[in-house]
Amino acid sequence: MEICNLSSEDLHRELSKERKRDFMNYILGLNVDYMLPNVPTSKRTCKVNRVVENAVKQMFELDSGRSISVAEYIAQEKKIRLSYPHLLCLHVGSLNRCSPIYAPAELPQVER
């Protein structure tokens, strides 16, 4: 991963405060292409609004009212095993949505 000079070891553990800050400074406000692996029809271009917790820690509420982590949701509902669940998630899309979209950082690609 070229962003912020992350090493392969960095990808498998929680980032230090300095690395988080560098990543946030790089990614905030950029447009990213978000697509689920092997599902080309899921491709969306979204603006990065903010950086939140990693996929294991970032929780959100399903329509049923149940809380679930981003990593659990991606595994259970989308049948995708995240390779780097300790990378931060990106809050993408409209700020007016009542339920925010949290994208694990390993899935989006920066639009150039």
Confidence check: pLDDT of 40 > 60: yes
Q: How far apart are CA 97 and CA 91, in angstroms?
A: 11
Q: What is the pLDDT of residue 54?
A: 93
Domain boundaries, the chain: 3-110
Kindly tell me if the per-residue pLDDT of 97 is higher than 60: yes
pTM for this predicted structure: 0.80
Q: Phi and psi for 110 in degrees, rounded to 5?
A: -70, 130
Fold of 3-110: paz domain (2.170.260)
Coil, helix or strand at residue 104:
strand
DSSP secondary structure string for all residues of 20-83: HHHHHHHHTT-EEEE--TT-GGG-EEEEEEEEEEETTT-EEE-TTS-EEEHHHHHHHHS----S
